[in-house]
Amino acid sequence: MKRIGVFICRCGTNIAASVDIDVVVKAAGEMPGVVYAGDYGYLCSETGQAMIREAIALQQLHGLVVAACSPHLHETTFRRTAASAGMNPYLAEMANIREHCSWVHRDKQEATAKAAALVRTTAARVAHSRELEAGEISVEPCALVIGGGIAGIQAALDIAEAGYQVDLVERMPSIGGRMAQLDKTFPTLDCSSCILTPRMVEAASHPAINLFTFCEVEKVEGFVGNFSVVLRKKARSVDPGKCTACGLCGEICPVKVKSEFEEGLGLRSAIYTPFPQAVPAIPVLDRASCLCFNGSACGLCLKACPAGALDFEQQDELLEQKYGAIVMATGFNLLNMEGFGELAYGRHLDIITSLQLERLLSPSGPTGGRILKPSSKQPPQSIVFVQCAGSRDKSHSARPYCSKICCMYSAKHALLFKEQYPEAWVYLFYTDICTPGKGLEELYLRVEEKYGVLYLRGRVSRVTPGGDMLLVEGIDTLSGHPVKIETDMVVLAPAITARSDAAEVARLLGISTDNHGFFTEAHPKLRPVETRLAGIFLAGACQGPGNIPETVIQAGAAAAKVIGLLSYDLLVGNPYVSFVNESLCSGCLDCKEVCPYGAIMEKTIEGKIHGKNVKRRVAEVNGILCQGCGSCTVACRPGALNLNGFSAEQLLAEVDAICL
Amino acid sequence: MPVNPRQHSFEPLIVAFCCNWCSYAGGDLAGADRLSYPAGVRIIRVPCCSRVSPNLILRAFQRGADGVVVAGCHPGDCHYDGGNYLARRRLTLLHRFLEFLGMEASRFTVCWISASEGERFAAVMTEITQKIWSLGPNRKLRDTR
């Protein structure tokens, strides 16, 4: 039997006013295992703690009950007291006789009886407490950033600036992401590539950043501090060591296909650099459209390359790397507008998405920055912007949420359009105008008041292509009148969605997504850039729609979290974790199913059954990943799993004692 | 002075398993706001309501508890992702099992109380005590020892 000491706090009169302290002390002295019981005015004071330390030494205590306020207030205090007197801190527990007793029960007799019961319960718990030590784990001082858009670039730069090695992985041939496709950015209308390109170059030339473009994550194993990741470097068919990025190969290539970067409005060759400012500037060969890889003889680029850099024999390369932390910065997609028949997207060339308009506005885009009707390459006389195309819409193929940035970029588009065509008519259908943020409301008002853009509050019911013109039908809910507009161009603001393979990527890493495929943060308010898996962080629109400054903020926050994590040589775990009694474990792994942290793995052990050596499967808990919820202990049928700090023995003893 | 007034009149003993993050803190808040509830309610702290094994609940009834409460975070708010959903499923089955044993299933309650709901904590505990009071003492599962 442990030698337990009970200390009862009067808390001035907070406890003593409704609990008869002497009765509780006397009762405590008679409880099983209790060798010392005493009281004091304020146990949390230095004198109170000294009294506890003295008693621990004098009475040779192996367990400590402090009956006082809520453990949420002073559990750490008294555990430190115990530790400073040489007792394992996890042998110290608190009985909450203030918040849960003296403050809520006015009848002194009842409150005294309850206080005694709570002390008895805690003493019973301490009798079954075990000495616990928190585990330690090494940390690989290197981070992986997945996604090379502005979020990934920012996170990589911030981490690298703090002195840690970063691998930045991007699946496209160049970093830059969505921001590289944009022309100007709201509300300041500064040129997107002017602010992005220097960051891209900085990331590529930073000594602590390794850039892996045209590269995908194949496999992720391990846990915080020790992730083991397999990267697939796709065959570029170009030797980056020899290539001088002269561009001759692309010029001579006879193949022309729609450019992904130009959102289908421009063409690219089979061997290409996606855009002029691409980083790296090394081209890639798209083997799916190259003649040589499709049975025809061509080889023009092979002959044209003065550096002899082309290598058609190149194979995908698999790299296994170790990381201490991972930042997800995989960005977003736009909802496919072809699923909305009434908007006629795809049935007429002059109905485009907002991202396509960005390309028409870009000086390096297919029209050199001039907005021309894609069908006839003629200047439009009028344009209709349609907001919330698939957002804030409960229908099956749409998204119920607000895509957050469309109000602002549409205002920007309307302004830029008016600057090119001051005489043209500009209509903008909206559901509500959302402009929270610095300078955003001002931009919107400027567009509406100074630029004479006609804002119509209502949704568009149908777009009908008719020869040269498009007929847009909708309703203006402010006047209550249906509206019909004949126009040259229609620009849709599609819902911002998660990447189409977000769920697959989430499974690869073991993180979770919400209903719409966006990665879920650990806590929406308090842990917005962490995932529930320790060591994996989120930045940018893969977590939900957001604008550029928000993305940069998130990336910086995620980087700060990574830097904090990598600054440890060893991580100290939480000692309240589950553990397995292997002799009882049947290997069913039901526990693995309920663990929200992927902390339970299987392992094979050798043991004797009926005198024979047998190999069998058992569960194993990773003490660093386990957060101590105890769900597995209930799922386990043979009772092989138990939770430190809230063990079955402790809880049963508490139930027995509380019911006495 | 008798330490156990329950010997004299029927004062229901309610064992409340409260999750550390929401309901236990809700109880703390009820205390800080001095919101009274019956003294027969006694709280056992658990990390999550998904830690509460049916064993513990049955043991409490065996040892003479007149009512048992499992209180967790509101659905969607679990500190550990979805522990309260697991608890909800498991403990729904336990309700059926208690009925099968011939016990009033209403002696056992699962509820969600957040850390900011001190008032709700006191109200729920009072309501449950009244319900158990009208059912009378638990005689069915109580040990005969």
Instruction: Indicate whether A323 and A203 sit together in one domain.
Output: yes
Q: Smallest CA–CA separation between B111 and chain A, in Å?
A: 18
CATH code: domain of residue A13: 3.40.50
pLDDT digits (tens, 9 = 90+) for A148-194: 999 999 999 999 999 999 999 999 999 999 999 999 999 999 999 99
Is A103–B90 a contact, with Cβ atoms under 8 angstroms apart?
no
**Omega before A524 cis (within 30°)?**
no
Instruction: Indicate whether A342 and A482 sit together in one domain.
Output: yes
Name the residue range of residue A434's domain.
Answer: 333-497
Domain residue extents for chain B: 10-135
Per DSSP, B16 falls in state: E
Q: Is the pLDDT of residue B145 over 80?
A: no
Distance CA A15, CA A562 (A): 45
DSSP string across A509-537 = HT--B-TTSPBPPSBTTTBTTB-SSTTEE
Is B31–A27 a contact, with Cβ atoms under 8 angstroms apart?
no
Q: What's this model's pTM, rounded to 2 decimal places?
A: 0.75
- What fold is seen in the domain B10-135? Rossmann fold (3.40.50)
Nearest to A11 by CA among A79, A113, A94, A81: A94
Q: State what percent of residues in chain A have pLDDT above 90.
A: 89
Q: Is residue A657 part of a domain?
A: no
What stretches of A209-283 show up as alpha helix (H) in DSSP? 248-252
The confidence score (pLDDT) of residue B111 equals 96
How many beta-carbon contacts under 8 Å exist across A and B?
136
Distance CA A324, CA A121 (A): 42
Nearest to B106 by CA among B116, B114, B96: B96
Please list every residue in chain A whose beta carbon sits closer than 8 Å to the beta carbon of residue B27: 99-100
Closest residue in B to A596 (Cα) is B81
Q: State what percent of residues in chain A have pLDDT above 70.
A: 100
Instruction: Specify whether the backbone of A598 is left (phi greater than 0), alpha (psi in -120 to 50) or beta.
Output: left
Classify residue A133 by burial, with Cβ atoms within 10 Å: 0-12, 13-18, 19+.
exposed
Six-digit token string for A629:
């919820």
The confidence score (pLDDT) of residue A477 equals 96
Nearest to A215 by CA among A171, A177, A173: A171
Specify the range with the lowest mean pLDDT, choosing from A158-172, A362-376, A611-625: A611-625
Please list every residue in chain B whose beta carbon sits closer than 8 Å to the beta carbon of residue A30: none
Is B47–A113 a contact, with Cβ atoms under 8 angstroms apart?
no
Q: Smallest CA–CA separation between A511 and chain B, in Å?
A: 12
Q: Can you name the residues that pair with A221 across neighbouring β-strands?
A: A228
Instruction: Indicate whether A432 and A523 sit together in one domain.
Output: no
* Average pLDDT value over all residues in chain A: 94
Per DSSP, A259 falls in state: -
Q: Is the pLDDT of residue B6 over 50?
A: no
For B31, the closest of A99, A117, A652 (CB atoms) is A99
Nearest to A149 by CA among A166, A174, A130: A174
Q: Is the pLDDT of residue B1 over 70?
A: no
Q: Smallest CA–CA separation between B113 and chain A, in Å?
A: 15
Domain count, chain A: 5
CATH code: domain of residue A228: 3.50.50.60
Angle formed by the axes of helices A150-161 and A548-566, nearest 10°: 30
Mean pLDDT for A368-374 is 95
- Locate tokens 């400012």: which residue? A277
What is this model's ipTM?
Answer: 0.93
The confidence score (pLDDT) of residue B5 equals 45
Which positions ≥6 away from A451 have C-beta within 8 Å?
A: A414, A415, A418, A426
Q: Is residue A373 part of a domain?
A: yes
Instruction: Indicate whether A203 and A112 sit together in one domain.
Output: no
Instruction: Indicate whether A455 and A338 sit together in one domain.
Output: yes
| SS3 label, residue A557 | helix
Closest residue in B to A107 (Cα) is B39
Is A118–B42 a contact, with Cβ atoms under 8 angstroms apart?
yes
Instruction: Indicate whether A407 and A472 sit together in one domain.
Output: yes
Instruction: Indicate whether A272 and A296 sit together in one domain.
Output: yes
Q: Smallest CA–CA separation between A554 and chain B, in Å?
A: 22
Please list every residue in chain B whose beta carbon sits closer than 8 Å to the beta carbon of residue A630: 46-48, 50-51
Per DSSP, B49 falls in state: G
Interface test with A, best of B52, B53, B121 (most A CBs within 10 A): B53
Distance CA B128, CA A443 (A): 57
- Rounded-to-10 torsion of CA A497, A500, A501, A504: 70
Is A596–B63 a contact, with Cβ atoms under 8 angstroms apart?
no
The confidence score (pLDDT) of residue B2 equals 40
Q: Is the pLDDT of residue B7 over 60?
A: no
- Locate tokens 């002959």: which residue? A303
pLDDT digits (tens, 9 = 90+) for A410-456: 999 999 999 999 999 999 999 999 999 999 999 999 999 999 999 99
Please list every residue in chain B whose beta carbon sits closer than 8 Å to the beta carbon of residue A576: 47
Q: Smallest CA–CA separation between B65 and chain A, in Å?
A: 6
Mean pLDDT for A41-45 is 94
Instruction: Indicate whether A585 and A504 sit together in one domain.
Output: no
Is B83–A648 a contact, with Cβ atoms under 8 angstroms apart?
no
Sheet holding A469-476, edge to edge: A460-466, A469-476, A481-487
Q: Is the pLDDT of residue A71 over 90?
A: yes
DSSP string across A565-578 = HHT-SEEE--S--E
Please list every residue in chain A whose beta carbon sits closer than 8 Å to the beta carbon of residue B2: 109, 113
Is A629–B47 a contact, with Cβ atoms under 8 angstroms apart?
yes
Nearest to B13 by CA among A651, A382, A2, A121: A121
Task: Indicate the residue among A448, A473, A497 that finishes a domain.
Answer: A497
Six-digit token string for A175:
């970093």
8 A C-beta contact, residue A115 and residue A98: no
Q: Smallest CA–CA separation between A23 and chain B, in Å?
A: 8
Nearest to A388 by CA among A425, A434, A356: A434
Closest residue in A to B47 (Cα) is A629
Is B56–A631 a contact, with Cβ atoms under 8 angstroms apart?
no
The confidence score (pLDDT) of residue B8 equals 47
Please list every residue in chain B whose beta carbon sits closer than 8 Å to the beta carbon of residue A105: 36, 39
Angle formed by the axes of helices A648-658 and B54-62, nearest 10°: 30
Q: Is residue A370 part of a domain?
A: yes
The confidence score (pLDDT) of residue B144 equals 58
Six-digit token string for A635:
């799922």
pLDDT band for position B84 (cuts 50, 70, 90): very high
Please list every residue in chain A whose beta carbon sits closer than 8 Å to the beta carbon of residue B60: 655, 658-659
pLDDT digits (tens, 9 = 90+) for A2-17: 999 999 999 999 999 9
Distance CA B28, CA B34 (A): 10
Instruction: Indicate whether A61 and A161 sit together in one domain.
Output: no
Specify the range with the lowest mean pLDDT, choosing from A267-281, A614-628, A636-650: A614-628
Six-digit token string for A499:
């990447």
Is A655–B90 a contact, with Cβ atoms under 8 angstroms apart?
no
8 A C-beta contact, residue A350 and residue A488: yes
DSSP string across A402-444 = --SSHHHHHHHHHHHHHHH-TTSEEEEEES-----STTHHHHH
Six-digit token string for A547:
């604008």
Q: Smallest CA–CA separation between B128 and chain A, in Å?
A: 16
Is A113–B39 a contact, with Cβ atoms under 8 angstroms apart?
yes
pLDDT digits (tens, 9 = 90+) for A546-582: 999 999 999 999 999 999 999 999 987 789 999 999 9
Q: Is the pLDDT of residue A643 over 50?
A: yes
Mean pLDDT for A196-215 is 97
Task: Indicate the residue among A573, A592, A627 that finishes a domain.
Answer: A573
Instruction: Indicate whether A636 and A536 sit together in one domain.
Output: no
pLDDT band for position A625 (cuts 50, 70, 90): confident
The confidence score (pLDDT) of residue A136 equals 82
pLDDT band for position B116 (cuts 50, 70, 90): confident
The one-letter amino acid at A447: V
Interface test with B, best of A121, A637, A659, A660 (most B CBs within 10 A): A659
Q: Is residue A655 part of a domain?
A: no
Distance CA A101, CA A114 (A): 7
Is A646–B51 a contact, with Cβ atoms under 8 angstroms apart?
yes
CATH code: domain of residue A597: 3.30.70.20
For A659, the closest of B11, B28, B63 (CB atoms) is B63
How big is chain A, counted in residues? 660
Distance CA A195, CA A213 (A): 21
Instruction: Indicate whether A120 and A27 sit together in one domain.
Output: yes
Q: Is residue A73 part of a domain?
A: yes
Instruction: Indicate whether A372 and A463 sit together in one domain.
Output: yes
Q: Is the pLDDT of residue A600 over 80?
A: yes
